[in-house]
Amino acid sequence: MLELYHWEPNGDSLKMIIALKEKGVSYKSCYVDLLALEHHGEAFKAAADSGRVPLLIENGNPLKDSQFALQYLAEAYEPRLAPSDPAGWYDIQDWTGFAGALGANVRALGWHTVTAPAMLQTERKAFLDRSAALPKPPVMAGWAQVTSDAEASEDQLRLARERIADAVARIEKQLAGKDWLVGDAYSVADINVFAHAHVLPRLLPEVVDAKKTPNTMAWLKRVGERPAVQDALRTGRSNRAGDVYAPMV
């Protein structure tokens, strides 16, 4: 029995939902509202000793790290979504690290430029008051610190835009003459990167569009048209789920 604790279908939650739907395996969907800070509530902690979302549980065993859980799904259930050779697995690991860094920058920029401004003033104040009361680790690295703050400086947001642009340049180069990121087949590398990159034509249209990044746009369309991906994107509860970004709290 599989259980997936997840938020809206974007970022790390989206990649897990897509993978499960690509596999066609049944699972129990457990929605965790990150903006309501439900991942810090007793109900979620009763299911897991971690406040990290998404969380995959298989037969009572939690797979807490979504990057490792995604790779586990790639091999544990058919159809296989990863190469079988060592060189291919090296490439999967390489793109896994890439997706994590891209996701951190997309989340930071999206939270401060899309989600937070769209919240009503009373909603935003209530959220910030609740999040301020939560215990935080003594040291928070990188974008975890930025997304936990009430505001990000323009320099921080500029840096996020620059890092995303660099990431897109790598995707564009990798897809020259290719359909998929790793080898000749669709894999968890495509799922992982797509989960963070599919919002970029809306979040940063000056960076990602059909003229500047034709390979990336064609790949986004190719992945986005897969039935499992379309089904996953329809699982959102918010009417703007495709453009909702969670802070790191």
Q: What is the pLDDT of residues 166-175, one digit of tens each?
A: 999 999 999 9
Q: Is residue 143's pLDDT more than 50? A: no
* Residue 35 and residue 24 in contact, taking contact as beta carbons nearer than 8 Å: no
Q: What residue spans define the domains of the chain?
A: 2-76, 86-243
In the DSSP assignment, the letter for residue 242 is G
Domain 86-243 has CATH 3.40.50.2300: no
For the ranges 32-41, 67-76, 212-221, which has the lowest average pLDDT? 32-41
188-197 and 66-76 are packed helices; what angle lies between their axes, rounded to 10 degrees? 140
Give the per-residue pLDDT at 139. Answer: 45
Give the per-residue pLDDT at 129. Answer: 81
pTM of the model: 0.91
Give the per-residue pLDDT at 136. Answer: 64
Cβ-based neighbours of 73, under 8 Å, separated by 6 or more: 16, 19, 20, 23, 56, 81, 188
pLDDT category, 137, cuts 50, 70, 90? low
For the ranges 64-68, 121-125, 195-199, which has the lowest average pLDDT? 121-125
More confident residue, 31 or 128: 31
Q: Which is the CATH superfamily of the domain at 2-76?
A: Glutaredoxin (3.40.30.10)
For the ranges 54-63, 175-184, 213-222, which has the lowest average pLDDT? 54-63
- In this structure, the strands spanning 55-58 and 61-63 are antiparallel
Cβ-based neighbours of 198, under 8 Å, separated by 6 or more: 14, 220, 223, 224, 242
Give the per-residue pLDDT at 50. Answer: 67
Q: Is residue 140's pLDDT more than 50? A: no
- How many residues are recorded in the chain? 249
Share of the chain above pLDDT 70, in %: 90
Q: Is residue 125's pLDDT more than 90? A: no
For the ranges 48-52, 188-192, 224-228, which has the lowest average pLDDT? 48-52
More confident residue, 115 or 141: 115
Question: Could you tell me where the DSSP H helices lie in 48-85?
Answer: 66-76
Separation of alpha carbons 126 and 92, rounded Å = 40
What 3-state DSSP class applies to 210? coil
